[in-house]
Structure 1
Amino acid sequence: MDFDLTDDQRLLTESVTRLLSDSYSFEQRRALLKTEQGWSQPLWDKYAELGLLGLPIAEEYGGFSGGAVDVMLLMQSFGRHLVLEPYLATVVLGGTALRLAGNEAQKGEVLPEIAAGTLRLAFAHYERQARYDITDILTTAKPAGDGFVLEGAKSVVLHGATADRLVVSARTAGGRDEAEGISLFLVDADAPGLARRGYRLRDGTEAAELSLSDVRVPRDALLGIKDDGLSVVQRVVEAGIAATAAEVIGCMEAMQAMTLDYLKTRVQFGRPIGENQALQHRAAEMLVAMEQGRSMAMLATMSLEEEDAAERARAISMAKVGVGQAGRFVSQQAIQLHGGIGMTEEYAVGHFFRRVMVIEHLFGDTAAHLDRLADQVA
């Protein structure tokens, strides 16, 4: 398999690196976290101008027809700078749902707006009682006139409080844990009966709790085939896992570089602490773990094109476990090797640590995916 980057991919990486190096210093990020929105609208507009928001969107809808590898490279760059903008929620999660399930009218209306940066999406699927079980859905959508009425609640909707529209899953048939009977709907954020409560996750990124009470949507708000939305949800979750795995690689690269620099410059007892052989071994172990994680992140990205759903799910779970374990190890070692300064708000490595820990719990944590892998061999 050829892992060399194309000229376009190298150009993409270089242009994003230049942009973020100039516009996303640690102090600039801390300032953004203190704003009400929690991210930069001017930078979001710049992403649109550079074509980043339309990267995986087909050219006919204003995008660039990029693939999963292009998104992986972009997310790695975002990880190195702890980017706060809602790219994951809008382009990866919401955009994937639209690209897979939307009809031509829906895609023609929504995808060009995503690429232009004028519309933000959020993916509202997980519910409080479900933990990481994507079939556990209590939100309902019942026929009413020429549309549906939605009732229920959604939890930890990434960037849900600032999204313009939401992709909402609801049960149109079957019981609570049944795979059949789940449908997807495109809901306006200002729809009557929809309430949103925004809050910050531990890493400072934004999420929301949604409450849907007598939310009426027209029939053309249905995405894909009625009662058959679970396969789309699965693909959206897998795309999210692959994208965040790449982001973790970027975070680990940044932590590795900061740790090596600290070991070379921190002087104790008259010499740099990096001359201590035991600390050199720990830095080497960080590098090995990071490269193992990189291989698993690449596996997740390549597996997105696998047609066999069971094989794809297995590979994605393996990648989620591998990246989760590597990310936790590298983060913990980075904090330990920095000593007390590593846990202060004023030092960047602790912020990377928190981001990696939040990602580990998105779309199923390491333990949940280990259980799934164990069930397949039991």
Structure 2
Amino acid sequence: MDFKLTQEQLMLQDTAARLVRDNYDFERREQYRRREHGFSEPFMQQLGELGLCAVSFAESYSGFGGGGVENMLIITELGRGLCLEPYLHSVVFAGGLVAQLGNRVQKEALLPQVASASLQLAVAVDEPHSHYQLHDVQTGATAVKGGWKLKGRKSVVIGGQSAGLILVSARNGHGVRDEQGISLFLVDQHAPGVRRRAFATLDGRMACELYLDDVWVGADALLGEAGQALPAIRYQQGRAIAAQCAEAVGSMEAACALTLDYLKTREQFGQAIGKFQVLQHRMVDMRIELDQATSMALLAACVADQPDTDARSRTLAAAKFIVSRASRFIADQGIQLHGGIGLTWEYMLSHHAKHLLMVARQFGDDDHHLHAYARLLQVA
């Protein structure tokens, strides 16, 4: 296979890399993290102005018609800079759901705004008890005159503290763990009955717990057919997993570079510690894990936009498993090779390590995806 990037893809990658390099040194990242919403709104606007938020959308909705590989090139650079903006959750995950499930009016109204970064979206599909099971939905949706009433609680909504609209999964029929009867709704953050509790996640990003107390939404807030949203949620979460694998690769590359530089400069017994063979072997082990994760992230990007099949699901599960394992290994080894400085808040490696540990658990941990892979093998 030919894995060479096209001229347009190289330009896209260079644009993203330069933007991150010029705007996301460690000191500025810390300033962004302390802001009200936990990221830089001007930087998110720059992503929109440069067309980076529009890459994956169709041209008819102000996009460029890109796919998984183009998403990978952008998000790898965002991961390398540990960017705090909810690009993955707003553009890839939520934007993908609107593009797949929305009617013409909804897509024409929302997608150009997401593409220009004038509107931020978030996805609320996890609940306190669900543990990665997208069909385990207790949030209820009751049909009323002119719309729906939603009641329930959603957990760890990344970017939900600042999103203009939140895509909420809710059950309008069947049993609690039935795969039928799950719908997806657009919920305005300012609607009566909506309450959010914002908090910082392990890696410094912001999320919220979302509480819905008989929140009324109009009939036009329903995305797709009532009770038929689960396949689209699973499909788009697959695209988000592919993007997250790319984000992890960017972070792992930066962590490996920091560790290698430290081994070359830190001295003990009159010489750089990188001259000790045992440390060289551990650095090689980190690079091997990174190379494996990079290959799987590329494979995931190549299948992300393919039709929903067991083969696609197996590939994405395998990629998430390999990348999660590699993320944990590189985070642990990087800290071990640095010693105490690797844990300090003022040093970038500690933030990469926390982000990689977070990546290893979002959208399903390695055990979850190993079991999913095994089930799909049995089906095959």
TM-score by length of 2: 0.97
CA drift of 1:131 comes to 0.9
Deviations 1:171-213 (A, max 9, x none): 1111011111111111111111111111110111011111111
Q: What letter is aligned with 1:224?
A: G
Inter-partner Cα distance in structure 1 for 2:240 and 2:376: 22
CA drift of 1:106 comes to 0.2
Inter-partner Cα distance in structure 1 for 2:49 and 2:36: 24
Q: Which moved more, 1:3-12 or 1:57-66?
A: 57-66
Inter-partner Cα distance in structure 1 for 2:116 and 2:325: 37
User: What are the equivalent positions in structure 2 for 1:199-278 lying under 5 Å apart?
Assistant: 199-278=199-278
Counterpart in 1 of 2:342?
342
CA drift of 1:29 comes to 0.6
Q: What letter is aligned with 1:278?
A: V
CA drift of 1:142 comes to 1.0
Counterpart in 1 of 2:184?
184
Q: What letter is aligned with 1:360?
A: A
**Aligned-partner SS, 2:129:** helix
Inter-partner Cα distance in structure 1 for 2:306 and 2:276: 46
Q: What letter is aligned with 2:57?
A: I
Counterpart in 2 of 1:111?
111
Counterpart in 1 of 2:155?
155
Distance verdict in 2 for CA 1:168–1:308, change over 3 Å: closer
Tell whether 2:301 aligns with 1:301: yes
**Aligned-partner SS, 2:358:** helix
Q: What letter is aligned with 1:374?
A: A
CA drift of 1:310 comes to 2.0
**Percent of paired sites with the same residue:** 43
Q: What letter is aligned with 1:201?
A: T
Inter-partner Cα distance in structure 2 for 1:283 and 1:368: 28
Inter-partner Cα distance in structure 2 for 1:273 and 1:224: 59
CA drift of 1:132 comes to 0.9
Q: Which moved more, 1:165-174 or 1:295-304?
A: 295-304
Find runs of 4+ consecutive structure 1 residues off by over 4 angstroms. none
CA drift of 1:257 comes to 0.8
Counterpart in 2 of 1:40?
40
Deviations 1:85-139 (A, max 9, x none): 1111210111011011001100000001111221110001111111111110011
Q: Which moved more, 1:204-213 or 1:366-375?
A: 366-375
Deviations 1:61-99 (A, max 9, x none): 112211110001111001110000111121011101101
Tell whether 2:318 aligns with 1:318: yes
Counterpart in 1 of 2:74?
74
Deviations 1:299-345 (A, max 9, x none): 22122233243222211111110001111111111111111110001
Distance verdict in 2 for CA 1:52–1:147, change over 3 Å: same
Deviations 1:46-73 (A, max 9, x none): 1111001111111111122111100011
Counterpart in 1 of 2:90?
90
CA contact (8 A) 2:310 2:376 kept: no
Counterpart in 1 of 2:356?
356
Q: Which moved more, 1:102-111 or 1:180-189?
A: 180-189
Distance verdict in 2 for CA 1:306–1:114, change over 3 Å: closer
Q: What letter is aligned with 2:355?
A: R
Counterpart in 2 of 1:25?
25
Q: What letter is aligned with 2:105?
A: A
TM-score by length of 1: 0.98
Structure 2 unaligned segments of length 5 or more: list them. none
**Aligned-partner SS, 2:60:** helix
Deviations 1:260-287 (A, max 9, x none): 1111111111111111111111111111
CA drift of 1:375 comes to 3.2
Inter-partner Cα distance in structure 2 for 1:161 and 1:310: 35
Deviations 1:134-172 (A, max 9, x none): 110011111100211111110001110110001111111
Structure 1 unaligned segments of length 5 or more: list them. none
Inter-partner Cα distance in structure 1 for 2:213 and 2:309: 34
Inter-partner Cα distance in structure 1 for 2:16 and 2:371: 37
Inter-partner Cα distance in structure 2 for 1:177 and 1:353: 35
What is the number of residues matched between the two proteins? 378
Inter-partner Cα distance in structure 2 for 1:346 and 1:187: 38
**Aligned-partner SS, 2:84:** coil
Inter-partner Cα distance in structure 2 for 1:327 and 1:55: 27
**Aligned-partner SS, 1:137:** coil
**Aligned-partner SS, 2:263:** helix
Q: What letter is aligned with 2:78?
A: F
Deviations 1:9-36 (A, max 9, x none): 1111111111111110011111211222
**Aligned-partner SS, 2:315:** helix
Inter-partner Cα distance in structure 1 for 2:135 and 2:370: 18
Tell whether 2:308 aligns with 1:282: no
Inter-partner Cα distance in structure 2 for 1:160 and 1:238: 20
Inter-partner Cα distance in structure 2 for 1:5 and 1:118: 30
Counterpart in 2 of 1:169?
169
The Cα RMSD (Å) is 1.1
Tell whether 2:374 aligns with 1:371: no
Inter-partner Cα distance in structure 2 for 1:100 and 1:249: 27
Counterpart in 1 of 2:121?
121
